[in-house]
Chain A
Amino acid sequence: MVYTKKHPALLIIGIFMVALGALVDFGLMDGVISYLAIKKHLAEITTLPYIFGSVAIVVGLWHLFGEHKEGHLDYYLSTVAGVVFILLIAMVVRWFAAPFIAVLSKSMGPVMGAKYLHEVFGLNYIVLGILTGIIIVNFFKVPSWAENGVRLSRLGLKTGVVLLGTLYSLAELQQLGALSIVMVGFFVLGSVGLVLWMGARRNIPNSMGGVLSAGMGVCGVSATVAAAPVVQAKSVEIAYTIGTILLWGVGSMFLFPIIGNILNLGHVQFGAWAGTGILNSAQVAGAALAYQPDGIETLKVAEIFNITRVLILPIIVVWLAVWYVKREESAPGVNIAQVAFQKFPVFVVGFLLMFALSSTGIFSPPNHYKGKYFDNDIPAEKLLTEQALTTLKNEQQKVQRAARQAALARLIENKKLMSIEDDNTLRGLINAKVLSKEANAVLKKAHKAVRHTAEKIKKFRQFIVWLFAFGLTGLGMQITFASIKQAGGQPLVIGGVVGTIKAVLSLIVVVLFVHETI
Chain B
Amino acid sequence: MFYTHLLLASHGTPGACAAEVAAFNLCNPDATLHHLIVVPDFWKGMLGDDWLNNAITQIQYGKYVECELEKEIQANVNRVSAEAKARKLAYSYEFLLGKPAECLLKVANHSRFDLVVIGSPRPKNKEGLKSRMHCETLLRGLSIPLLIIPYPDEV
Chain A residues within CB distance 8 Å of chain B:
153-154, 157-158, 219-222, 224-226, 228-229, 233-236, 238-239, 242, 245-246, 249, 280-283, 306, 310, 313, 342-343, 345-346, 471, 475-476, 478-480, 482-483, 485-486, 488-489
Contact = CB atoms under 8 A, between A and B. Distances in A.
28 contacts: A154-B51, A157-B51, A222-B51, A224-B48, A225-B47, A225-B57, A226-B57, A228-B65, A234-B68, A235-B72, A236-B128, A246-B48, A282-B49, A310-B52, A342-B54, A342-B60, A343-B57, A345-B52, A346-B54, A471-B51, A475-B51, A478-B45, A478-B47, A479-B45, A479-B49, A482-B40, A483-B46, A486-B130
A452 to B, nearest CB: 35
B30 to A, nearest CB: 36
A483 B42 contact: yes
A229 B49 contact: no
Nearest to A137: B45
B51 A281 contact: yes
Contact of A313 (B45, B52, B128): B52
A246 B45 CA distance: 11
Contacts of A228: 61, 64-65
Given A225-B47, A345-B53, A345-B54, 7 more contacts: A225-B50, A235-B72, A478-B45, A480-B42, A482-B40, A486-B42, A488-B128
A303 B87 CA distance: 62
Interface in B83-123: none
Nearest to A227: B61
Given A222-B51, A236-B129, A239-B129, A485 B42 contact: yes
A483 B57 CA distance: 20
Given A346-B54, A485-B42, A488-B127, A221 B49 contact: yes
| Most chain B CB atoms below 10 A, which of A235, A242, A280, A282 | A235
Contacts of A221: 47-50
B56 A342 contact: yes
B49 A246 contact: yes
Contacts of A158: 51
B99 to A, nearest CB: 9
Interface residues on B, range: 20 to 34
A237 to B, nearest CB: 10
Interface of B: 40-54, 56-58, 60-61, 64-65, 68-69, 72, 127-131
Contacts of A310: 52
Contacts of A235: 43, 65, 68-69, 72
A283 B52 CA distance: 12
A225 B53 contact: yes
A153 B48 CA distance: 13
Nearest to B52: A222
A236 to B, nearest CB: 6
A338 to B, nearest CB: 11
B114 to A, nearest CB: 33
A229 B48 contact: no
Nearest to B70: A235
B49 A280 contact: yes
A158 B52 CA distance: 8
| Most chain B CB atoms below 10 A, which of A225, A233, A345, A479 | A225
A483 B129 contact: no
A485 B51 contact: no
B13 to A, nearest CB: 10
A154 B50 CA distance: 8
B127 A483 contact: no
A478 B49 contact: yes
A475 B48 CA distance: 8
A87 to B, nearest CB: 18
A488 B131 CA distance: 13
B146 to A, nearest CB: 24
Contacts of A346: 54
Nearest to B57: A226
A220 B50 CA distance: 8
Nearest to A243: B130
B60 A229 contact: yes
A238 B130 contact: no
Nearest to A485: B130
Nearest to A313: B52
A208 to B, nearest CB: 12
| Most chain B CB atoms below 10 A, which of A153, A342, A483 | A483
A226 B53 contact: yes
Contacts of A157: 51
B65 A238 contact: yes
A228 B61 CA distance: 7
Contact of B48 (A245, A313, A345, A488): A245
The 6 closest A-B pairs by CB, nearest first: A482-B42, A480-B45, A221-B48, A229-B64, A222-B52, A483-B45
| Most chain A CB atoms below 10 A, which of B45, B47, B52, B69 | B52
Contacts of A239: 42-43, 46, 129
Contacts of B127: 488-489
Contacts of B130: 482, 485-486, 488
Nearest to B40: A482
